[in-house]
Amino acid sequence: MLKATNLVKRYGEITALDGFDLEVEPGEIAGLVGHNGAGKTTFFEIAAGLVSPDAGDIRVEGVIGVAPQQLALYPSVTVRETLRLFGGLAGRSGQALKEAIDRVAEEMVLTRELDRRVSVLSGGQQRRTQAATALVADPEVLLLDEPTVGADPETRAALLAAVRRRAERGVTVVYSTHYLPELAELGATIAVARSGRVIARGAGDELLKGLPGEVTITLDDERLTVTTADPTATLAELLRGLDRPVRGVDIRQPSLDDLYRELSRVA
């Protein structure tokens, strides 16, 4: 599990974290979202033990696997050597480490690249290698900071599947992303960060409740678009009042993007 309480971190006149609270249970995927400068990366650095907070407390139980936002790989060594290094740093060795490397390489579609140098890999393969460094030690806590930024579809699919499997085994996951549909696909709870603190926390469905969606009806000569908190009911009402042929109907339910825009507006 992971629990951060009232974290504060300042860099000179800049306050990166200003009372940051976040608790994530084993088996939970917590999606951490927010604009650049919201404090997400600083939180990850503190949770990973790379930076000390100026105030507050953080408790992380178990081995930690970290995939930072920026690629942090040695270009002159092979994928296998990279995974051996990171697994060894986490205390793995011998046959157990070898099996873990083979297993995570297959999981991240890297088996054929194990003996290739990192420098000759494609961008997607490097992204998958970085994710594999966080997974190879079978951590109890997984910290993923924008792990799919710039990733190709194969990389994204492999990583999301790996994250889901870890959560099913009871791993605590914190997953930062600007690509909000990933969190819906992962079934993640949501933590929205702004100005160094979490301003909303909960299940996606709960946070979306009451936010407006849209109904669009296409007629022969015009399109009607209505913003509404209940798109399905609004559509039924609109259809009852129409005496012209309907050529098309589109319902857009409230999304995580709508949630973030609304919270950013009122915070």
- What is the domain partition of the chain in residue ranges? 1-62+140-206, 74-133, 210-255
Q: Residue 216 — pLDDT band, cuts 50, 70, 90?
A: very high
8 Å CB contact between 214 and 227: yes
User: Is the pLDDT confidence value at 267 over 70?
Assistant: no
Query: What percentage of the chain reaches a pLDDT higher than 70?
Result: 99
Q: What is the pLDDT, as a whole number, of residue 39?
A: 95
What are 16-49's pLDDT values in tens digits? 999 999 999 999 999 999 888 899 999 999 999 9
* Neighbouring residues of 60: CB distance < 8 A, sequence distance ≥ 6: 1, 2, 47, 141
What are 143-177's pLDDT values in tens digits? 999 999 888 899 999 999 999 999 999 999 999 99
User: Is the pLDDT confidence value at 238 over 60?
Assistant: yes
User: Is the pLDDT confidence value at 263 over 80?
Assistant: no
- The two tokens of residue 159 are 């990583």
Q: What is the rounded CA–CA span in Å between residue 241 and residue 234?
A: 11
What are 77-127's pLDDT values in tens digits? 999 999 999 999 999 999 999 999 999 999 999 999 999 999 999 999 999
Q: Give the chain's mean pLDDT.
A: 92
Q: Residue 188 — pLDDT band, cuts 50, 70, 90?
A: very high
User: Is the pLDDT confidence value at 264 over 70?
Assistant: no
Q: What is the mean pLDDT of residues 39-67?
A: 96
User: Is the pLDDT confidence value at 266 over 60?
Assistant: no
3 state SS of 145: strand
In this structure, the number of other CB atoms found within 10 A of the CB of residue 110 comes to 22
Q: Give the up-direction half-sphere exposure of residue 188: CA atoms within 13 A in the CB hemisphere.
A: 29
How much of the chain is in helix, strand and coil states, percent to nearest 5?
35, 30, 30
In CATH, which of 3.40.50.300, 3.40.50.150, 3.40.1010.20, 2.60.40.10 is domain 1-62+140-206? 3.40.50.300
Helical H segments across 145-194, by residue range: 153-168, 181-186
More confident residue, 241 or 63: 63
The bridge status of strand 64-67 relative to strand 55-60 is unpaired
**In this structure, which amino acid lies at residue 208?**
L
User: Is the pLDDT confidence value at 231 over 70?
Assistant: yes
Maximum CA extent, the chain: 75
* Neighbouring residues of 193: CB distance < 8 A, sequence distance ≥ 6: 20, 32, 33, 34, 38, 39, 40, 43, 199
Q: What is the mean pLDDT of residues 191-214?
A: 88
